[in-house]
Structure 1
Amino acid sequence: MPSHAPNRPVCHHCGGFCVVAITTGGRHHDGSRILLRVECRACQGTGRTLPAAFVWTGR
């Protein structure tokens, strides 16, 4: 019997991939790569958006 997961609104800016790691090309002293973590500006790294009814508008 299939289990149904509730539909969660995914951020349309990042498609649910809210944090990415970008390499700078450099390496640390131990040989590991230097990475920058960048979060989606629209969802602030959550990967989800709020439905329009729950978005705070006005004062």
Structure 2
Amino acid sequence: MPQHTPNGPVCRDCDGFPIVAITTGTRLPDGSRATLHVVCPGCNGTGHSTPAPVLARTGR
């Protein structure tokens, strides 16, 4: 199956997986595990990063 290409460069911190669920190890009364949803601080949950500015040589 063909895969879609990303709209922009993929974040280098999260590799395109911007939100993850981490189990805390404790169990809730119904038996399931308590989870924390953490957002990537590098891309703020978008999965894409802004391209680095291009360096322009000025002067001589």
Change (3 A) 1:40 1:5: closer
Q: Which residue of 2 aligns with 1:35?
A: 35
Q: Structure 2-normalised TM-score?
A: 0.68
Correspondence for 2:23: 23
What is the CA RMSD across the aligned residues, in angstroms? 2.4
1:12 is aligned to 2:12: yes
**Shift of the alpha carbon at 1:4?**
7.1
Q: Give the deviation of 1:51 after TM superposition.
A: 2.8
Cα deviation 1:11-36 (Å, max 9, x = unaligned): 01111011111111111111111001
Structure 1 ranges of 4+ moved more than 3 A: 2-7
Number of aligned residues? 52
Structure 1 gap ranges (5+): 54-59
Residue of structure 1 in register with 2:48 after alignment: 48
